Amino acid sequence: MSNPSILILPGDGIGPEVMAEVKKVISWYGAKRDVQFDVSEDLVGGSAYDAHGTPLHDDTMAKAQEVDAVLLGAVGGPKYDALDFSVKPERGLLRLRKEMDLYSNLRPAQCFDALADFSSLKKDVVAGLDIMIVRELTSGIYFGEPRGIIEEGNERVGINTQRYTESEIDRVARSAFELAMRRGKKLCSMEKANVMESGILWREVVTEVGKDYPEVELSHMYADAGAMQLCRWPKQFDVIVTDNLFGDLLSDAAAMLTGSLGMLPSASLGAPMANGRPKALYEPVHGSAPDIAGQGKANPIACILSFAMSLRYSFDMGAEADRLEAAVEKVLADGVRTADLLGEEGVTPVTTSEMGDAIVSALDASL
Ligand code: NAD
């Protein structure tokens, strides 16, 4: 069987800096665990625009469709702010998500014990938190028609349409149930079935899909109550599945329970390919951080944890994903901190590269 393939798209700003640390981790797996990946690398975002006049070259798009997983750093930056909307760096990322049809967006909210003090919530509310929000990514109100701003009488009206087909709900629900099966076997579906027809259909379809997963304990919650519960006692949840709009809000809120933006990974998954692996894009939640780019200050952990997600969800290497997450946890427990994680007095921050080296050393120690 051929080696699993990864396309690396470092992007702009701190993207290449954090991706350099992921490359160290990938090399470690090759050298120490004999896990070989076929790695290729290409441009996306502003760097692709500089080279080709487009934020995603057709050849890069074609490569992304062929590989087992795409790993992306970040795109964007002030240099590109004045560009026409059609060639802005973000369009490269949106094209990847759209053409790969990545309908299931996984956003973990995990709080490492060593960082529990960074949360705005009380330590005992967040310490040990490990939940996963699955957000539908390709439909709903951000895409529904009709949309626009129209004239009506003597004023303007802004219109967006929430629209979900049964099949769209079915596929994202299935991906959430599959995920719940690999985790704590608990799934909470969130919508507004009390006031939205799309919410009524959402609840019906999720309930129906649930019959195929009798081991998973399914519950339903109105999304506004869900937001409240996420702040009150987030550890009651294991996996949450919700639509595009509510998922956008709930995943950002949940992510912030855990501290720095530099810690948050994500995965976007699509339909299974011929080899059974889902189409997949892994990326940190953060952007290109132009304010710290080129200074060696970026925290590479979000990007490294995104690679850990690829081990788990694309390559069926859950034990190796555990090993990598444990290495990150150990480094944090040892007090190693990039500048974004400073809180305690007298701690000198390490550079991006030193954080990567520390994680590789912790991987060594795990053998
Ligand atoms: P940002 O995430 O780039 O930065 C927000 C703040 O968090 C900054 O102070 C930054 O220094 C800090 N930060 C972010 N990642 C960090 C890390 N790994 N380590 C330490 N600190 C980190 O968001 P922004 O400033 O709103 O956007 C900057 C650019 O990134 C814009 O061009 C925006 O369009 C783009 N962006 C891209 C993505 C993406 O590629 N997925 C996501 C969001 C924003």
How far, in Å, from the CA of 268 to the mean position of ligand 1?
Answer: 19
* Atom 5 (ligand 1) nearest CA: 289
284: three-class secondary structure by DSSP: strand
- Whole-number Å distance, alpha carbon 294 to ligand 1 midpoint, is 13
Concatenating the DSSP letter of every residue in 214-272 gives TTSEEEEEEHHHHHHHHHH-GGG-SEEEE-HHHHHHHHHHHHHTT--GGG-EEEEEEEE
pLDDT tens for each residue of 280-324: 999 999 999 999 999 999 999 999 999 999 999 999 999 999 999
Residue 186 · residue 217 · CB < 8 Å: yes
Mutate to test the pocket of ligand 1, among 47, 288, 341, 354 (most ligand atoms within 8 A of CB): 288
Same domain, 134 and 251: yes
Residue identifier of the C-alpha nearest atom 26 of ligand 1: 287
pLDDT tens, position by position, 88-129: 999 999 999 989 999 999 999 988 888 888 888 888 999 889
Residue 287: domain span:
1-106+265-367
Report yes or no on 164 lying in a domain.
yes
Ligand 1 contacts (CB < 6 A) are: 14, 18, 74-77, 90, 93, 261-262, 283, 286-292, 298-299, 302, 340
Classify residue 220: in a domain, yes or no.
yes
Domain count, the chain: 2
- For the stretch 12-65, pLDDT in tens is 999 999 999 999 999 999 999 999 999 999 999 999 999 999 999 999 999 999
- Residues carrying an active site annotation: 142, 192, 224, 248, 252
For 72-91, what is each residue's pLDDT tens digit? Answer: 999 999 999 999 988 999 99
What does the pLDDT average to over 152-156?
A: 97
pLDDT confidence tier of residue 186, bands split at 50, 70 and 90: very high
Instruction: Indicate whether 174 and 278 sit together in one domain.
Output: no
- CA 78 / ligand 1 centre spacing (Å): 11
The answer to whether residue 123 sits within a structural domain is no
| Both tokens assigned to 166 | 């049964």
User: For the chain, what is the mean pLDDT?
Assistant: 95
Q: Which residue's structure tokens are 């539908």?
A: 136
Question: Ligand 1 center to residue 11 CA distance, Å?
Answer: 12
- Give the pLDDT score at 134: 97
List, in order, residues 6 or more apart from 258 with CB less than 8 Å away. 109, 110, 111, 112, 115, 118, 119, 126, 129, 264
CB atoms within 10 A of CB 148: 10
